[in-house]
Structure 1
Amino acid sequence: MHSITLQPASAELRPVIEQLAELYRHDMSEFFGYLPDAEGRFGFTPLPLFFDEPEREALVIRCDTAPVGFVLTRPMAEGPTSISGFFVVRALRRRGVGRQVALQLLRSRPGAWGIAFQEANAGAARFWRGVAAAAVGPGNWREETRLAPSTTPVNLPEDQWIFLDTSRG
């Protein structure tokens, strides 16, 4: 049995998150049309904000000692905390690792949460709806569709959002 932990990413772990973010962007390229740059890197321009702005947070997911993913959180203007990025390496997907980490995070920080995903990403849609139901119970969360931010450089698909509050019940 492996030990799955979630830890704040210190400045020393920034290169680890940056490397994992390349894998994340590659995975998301299927839904967003991202292409690598001339050096073969996808890049993730908002990533530095999660290290430089105190209200944002980057967390490393570890399996034993290996870094196997990350979670990025940020406050939303209307109050909830957003899970802005969530990634688990393919070797550990569909094994309960992501669910364990997501529930650990939501339960350890009671309050309002917002989680965005793309409906075309069927695995993510199933995953986040299951996490929401497990975290607060069926029917105790809501969904809405929102346009992608207009500040993004590419034409992104609409976001499907789940909103829930882990401080209730």
Structure 2
Amino acid sequence: MTEPAMTEPVMPGAALSIQPAQAEQEWEVLAWLWQCFRHDLALAVGALPYADGRYQAQDLPRAPGEDHVAYLAWRAHPKTGEQAPLGFAVVEGLTGQRRGLAALWVAPVVRREGLGQQIALDVLGRHHGPWSIAFQHDNPAAGRFWRGVADLAFGSGGWGEQKRPVPQRPDVPPDHWLESR
């Protein structure tokens, strides 16, 4: 696997490196973490694993593309010192008028360290233009998180929120969409 670039010394709990997934092995790591992401969403979206034991991955790109990019967040593993993935973000709409954050996930054990916010702000800052960020109605923690990120990234009053029906799912509450102005 390609060693992620670090800007500070590597030690447990230290520097976080957020890099685009480029090598095939990095996309394999992303695919594994995607399963954790979908597992976390399972209660909010009523999902079960498929016959092969995995959650759906049709929305996960398989390689870098013109219209999307994925980022992996790395930090030294506290037991081995080797770089370990702590989270990821997937951005879509790079060739369109509006960017979208298709997914963001952080390992549960480090969620209270502010890494999710750090990853989100880093990724939002890398791609200029208007943004859309969606989250499920039944996930109030996500709502608090994303509204706080939107205030920091776009400024208070620099974004709006609306509810939109989930396509092909009239049985579930609408999703919330935050959009920068």
Task: Calculate the TM-score normalised by the size of structure 1.
Answer: 0.86
Alignment partner, residue 166 of structure 2: 148
Q: Which runs of 5+ in 2 are unaligned?
A: 1-12, 77-82
Q: Which runs of 5+ in 1 are unaligned?
A: none
Structural mapping, 1:70-109, within 5 Å: 70-75=88-93, 79-109=97-127
What's the Cα RMSD here?
A: 2.2
1:97-139 CA deviation, whole Å, 9 max, x = no partner? 0101111122232221110001211111000000001112211
Structural mapping, 1:51-66, within 5 Å: 51=63, 53-64=65-76, 65-66=83-84
**CA distance in structure 2 between the aligned counterparts of 1:131 and 1:116, rounded to whole angstroms:** 12
Alignment partner, residue 55 of structure 2: 42
Task: Calculate the TM-score normalised by the size of structure 2.
Answer: 0.81
**CA distance in structure 1 between the aligned counterparts of 2:125 and 2:21, rounded to whole angstroms:** 19
**Number of matched residues?**
162
**CA distance in structure 2 between the aligned counterparts of 1:118 and 1:77, rounded to whole angstroms:** 25
Asked whether the 8 Å contact 1:5–1:101 carries over to 2, the reply is no
Return closer, same or farther for 1:78/1:121 CA change in 2, 3 Å cut-off.
same
State the identity %: 34
Alignment partner, residue 161 of structure 1: 177
| C-alpha deviation, 1:5, in angstroms | 1.8
Alignment partner, residue 115 of structure 1: 133
Where do 4+ consecutive residues of structure 1 move more than 3 Å?
154-157
Correspondence for 2:20 among 8, 19, 22:
8
Alignment partner, residue 19 of structure 1: 32
Larger mean CA deviation between 51-60 and 27-36 belongs to: 51-60
User: Highest relative contact order (Cα 8 Å, sep 6+), 1 or 2?
Assistant: 1
SS in structure 2 of the partner of residue 125 of structure 1? helix
**CA distance in structure 1 between the aligned counterparts of 2:89 and 2:53, rounded to whole angstroms:** 24
Higher Cα Rg: structure 1 or 2?
2
- The code of the aligned residue for 1:58 comes to A
1:32 paired with 2:74, answer no
- The code of the aligned residue for 1:7 comes to Q
- The code of the aligned residue for 1:54 comes to E
